[in-house]
Amino acid sequence: MKKIVFVTGTRADYGKIKSLIKATDESKLFSTYVYITGMHLLNECGNTYMQVVNDEHGKCYVERNVQVSPYMDENLGNTILAFSRFVRDIEPDYIVVHGDRTDALAGASVGLLNNIKVVHIEGGELTGTVDDSIRHAITKMAHIHMTANEETKLRLIQLGEREDTINVIGSPDIDIMLSDAIPKPKDILNKYGIPFEKYGLFIYHPVVTEVESLDAKMKELEKVFDKLSMGMIVIHPNNDLGREVIVEMIEKLSGKDNIRVYKSFPFEEFLSLLKGADFIMGNSSAGIREACVYGIPCINIGTRQNGRYNARILKNIVSVKEDAEEILSAIEHIDDYRFTSNYYGNGRSVKAFMDAMKREVKKSDADVQKVFVDTDETIKKIERFINEGCE
């Protein structure tokens, strides 16, 4: 059996990969390990490592020897050191990482520098923050790519990746979204004592390249909540630089009758709340990737998701600035944005992932050397340069 390690550092990436973890754990081809680190370990973020452990998929390892810092570069270095020790102990054949967090960058770095095949989930995406650079860096370290659609596959080819290493599987969380595993929204509202018949969801993460303007943006969002009378379920942000400014604003809202504040929800419960919501508001990728599956309108605030979606395809999204009047206007016209889309997957990602991994297992274990593949256009330009006699 091949040893495969899934790295998870946040509630978001775990939701994306948990169905894949379960599939490999049930397969006779793999011995599955789950390495839990990062934001999962923070009490202020809800100690979400327990959600991973309680699912009982694979051999879970909770990293107790890594210091989680508010600085992304420190987190990267600390996670590399801790994960490197773990990898040397179990000697895996594959390391699976998702997306664009420093935890994934650490996992990919350790894999690349130890001749371990790195599997990257959902590369080729575009966003409006430093996550873009991290994601593309992981792509260049990864040996096996699992993308959400043909658009992102083309970007990986543009980045010089071999086409035969790219597998279009869709977003794995959609398998869960379309399954019977999602509880009824009413049951989750009752579980948490949330009294709202109609409600919106709010998740806003810091954009690390814009922290200087975060205070002013929070004042605009405060104005929005001051004027809203409908129910709002507010969820704490991730632990990127600037988190404390957002949390300070959120805590001011916690005493309002129409607002309920939570550090986190288990993934299926969050999806249930999303399914029952009137809209989702903020800058979370959930508004881009998951909301369209259920046809839930998304008010996308600010620059964090710039480039991540095409408005001609995802018609459930209205993008606004951190401006109270713009946001309130979007809420007033929210019914104009009730559209569904299967652009990010059709609920068959797990099968596509497992088929791709079965093909990989049959390949040579020595095939870990990364090769940059020039596009046809680049090759023509190089040939023209040489033919013209340039030195």
Q: Is the pLDDT of residue 271 over 90?
A: yes
Average pLDDT along the chain: 95
Q: Which of 332, 351, 370 is nearest to 170 (CA)?
A: 351
Total domains, the chain: 2
Confidence label for 330 from pLDDT (cuts 50, 70 and 90)? very high
Distance CA 6, CA 20 (A): 9
Position 128 scores a pLDDT of 78
Q: Residue 390 above 80 pLDDT?
A: no
Query: Looking at the domain assignment, is residue 320 inside a domain?
Result: yes
Amino acid (1-letter code) at residue 17: I
pTM assigned to the model: 0.90
Residue 16 lies in a domain: yes
Q: Can you give the pLDDT at residue 62?
A: 97
Q: pLDDT above 90 covers what percent of the chain?
A: 87
Q: What is the pLDDT of residue 364?
A: 64
Residue 82 lies in a domain: yes
Q: Residue 389 above 80 pLDDT?
A: no
CA atoms within 13 A on the CB side of 149: 15
Question: Is residue 365 over pLDDT 90?
Answer: no
Same domain, 314 and 199: yes
What is the rounded average pLDDT of the residues 344-356?
Answer: 96
For residue 19, give the CATH number of its domain. Answer: 3.40.50.2000
Which residues 6+ apart lie within 8 Å of 366 measured at CB?
none
Residues 86 and 160 in one domain: yes
The answer to whether 66 touches 29, Cβ cutoff 8 Å, is no
Number of C-beta neighbours around residue 42 at 10 A: 17
Residue 36 has what pLDDT?
97
Question: Over the stretch 16-44, which tens digit does the pLDDT of each residue have?
Answer: 999 999 999 999 999 999 999 999 999 98
**Looking at the predicted structure, is the pLDDT value of residue 339 above 80?**
yes
Q: pLDDT tens digit string along 67-114? A: 888 788 999 999 999 999 999 999 999 999 999 999 999 999 999 999
When pLDDT is cut at 50, 70 and 90, the band that residue 295 belongs to is very high
Q: Which of 212-216, 334-338, 374-378, 386-390 has the lowest mean pLDDT?
A: 386-390
Residue range 51-62: mean pLDDT, rounded:
95
Same domain membership, residue 358 and residue 321: no
User: Does one domain contain both 264 and 320?
Assistant: yes
Cα(247)–Cα(235) distance, rounded to whole angstroms?
Answer: 9
In a domain, 384, yes or no: no
For 174-188, how does the pLDDT look when each residue is reduced to its tens digit (9 = 90+)? 999 999 989 999 999
- Give kind and range of the element (H or E) at residue 317: strand 317-320
Q: How far apart are CA 44 and CA 38, in angstroms?
A: 12
Same domain, 362 and 217: no
Q: Do 203 and 327 fall into the same domain?
A: yes
Same domain, 207 and 321: yes
For 364-370, the CB contacts below 8 A with 24+ separation are: 365/93, 367/143, 368/115, 368/116, 368/117, 368/143, 370/112, 370/140, 370/141, 370/143
Both 213 and 321 in a single domain? yes
**Domain membership of residue 333 as a residue range:** 185-337
Whether residue 279 is contained in a domain is answered as: yes
